[in-house]
């Protein structure tokens, strides 16, 4: 996979990681294109990226397109970005850096490898995520009483509820990354100077679409609980009661 999302709050840590990444991939400073805007990154910026993406690297075999503050990407820009995230040119690597991955569309997330950085550089083990996968599957087929009981138990501690939701989001992202594949090639259209890219793949259907919807629901729940004073129990109850095992 050549498209990455780096989620990090410490900018210095992000710069250190990128520096090591460039060295590992042998990417010259001449072949690094950084997009950084304080306000919003719109569709025009994506069109410029599209043009630069297909240019041959100046010095080495690889080039990198880095979008900092990716949380400022507009919805239109994110949708336009989908086409190049799915299949970037062989000589290009795309990196999105954000402090809030939940601000990105699930369809953007599903096309990228997620790299989470923190000061302790800790990661959840595969075993732990597998256990949470089983919890999610059990929850989706549980009865109303069981779902309400879990919402009650989790809402007793807001931080624990947020950590639980974060792990569930990781489980869903991993499933999407591992199971949503490219069915048809992406066509490049030369009818415009901007090298418009046309995505000929069918939109996600069946279990894929439902897992994307699930991811969106869990992300919204995490955002609401972390940024508002609404009762976590009510928000979790609403989330759990809408879950279904029909995937």
According to DSSP, the β-strands at 187-188 and 197-198 are antiparallel
pLDDT category of residue 66 using cuts at 50, 70 and 90: very high
Residue among 78, 74, 75, 33 at smallest CA distance from 54? 33
Question: What is the enclosing helix (H) or strand (E) of 97?
Answer: strand 92-98
Q: Give dist(CA 240, CA 121) in Å, integer.
A: 31
| Verdict on whether the full-model pTM lies above 0.85 | no
Q: What is the 3-state secondary structure (H, E, C) of 23-43?
A: HHHCCCHHHEEEECCCCCECH
Give the helix/strand (H/E) hosting 7: strand 3-7
| Buried b or exposed e, range 85-101, using 16+ CB within 10 angstroms | bbbbbebbbbbbbbeeb
Q: Which domains does the chain have, with CATH numbers?
A: 3-116 (3.40.50.300), 126-185+202-241 (no CATH)
The Cα–Cα gap between 176 and 215 comes to: 9
In the structure, what pLDDT confidence band is assigned to residue 207 with cuts at 50, 70 and 90?
low
**3-class SS of residue 56:** coil
Q: pLDDT tens digits, residue range 67-97?
A: 999 999 999 999 999 988 888 888 999 999 9
């Amino acid at each position: 996979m050549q498209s990455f999302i780096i989620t990090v709050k410490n900018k210095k840590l992000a710069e250190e990681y990128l520096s090591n990444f460039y060295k590992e991939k042998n990417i010259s400073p001449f072949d690094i294109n950084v997009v950084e805007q304080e306000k919003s990154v719109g569709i025009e910026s994506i069109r410029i990226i599209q043009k630069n993406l297909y240019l041959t690297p100046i010095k080495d075999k690889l080039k990198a397109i880095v979008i900092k503050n990716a949380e400022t990407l507009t919805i239109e820009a994110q949708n336009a970005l989908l086409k190049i995230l799915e299949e970037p040119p062989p000589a290009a690597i795309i990196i999105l850096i954000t402090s809030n991955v939940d601000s990105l569309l699930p369809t953007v997330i599903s096309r990228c490898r997620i790299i989470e950085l923190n000061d302790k550089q800790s990661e959840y083990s595969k075993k732990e995520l597998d256990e949470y996968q089983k919890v999610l599957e059990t929850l989706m087929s549980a009865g109303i009483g069981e779902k309400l009981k879990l919402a009650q138990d989790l809402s007793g501690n807001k931080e624990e509820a947020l950590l639980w939701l974060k792990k569930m989001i990781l489980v869903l992202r991993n499933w999407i990354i591992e199971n949503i594949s490219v069915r048809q090639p992406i066509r490049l259209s030369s009818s415009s100077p901007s090298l418009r890219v046309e995505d000929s793949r069918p939109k996600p259907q069946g279990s894929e679409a439902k897992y994307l919807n699930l991811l969106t629901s869990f992300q919204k729940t995490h955002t609401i609980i972390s940024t508002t004073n609404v009762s976590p129990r009510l928000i979790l109850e609403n989330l759990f009661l809408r879950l279904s095992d029909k995937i």
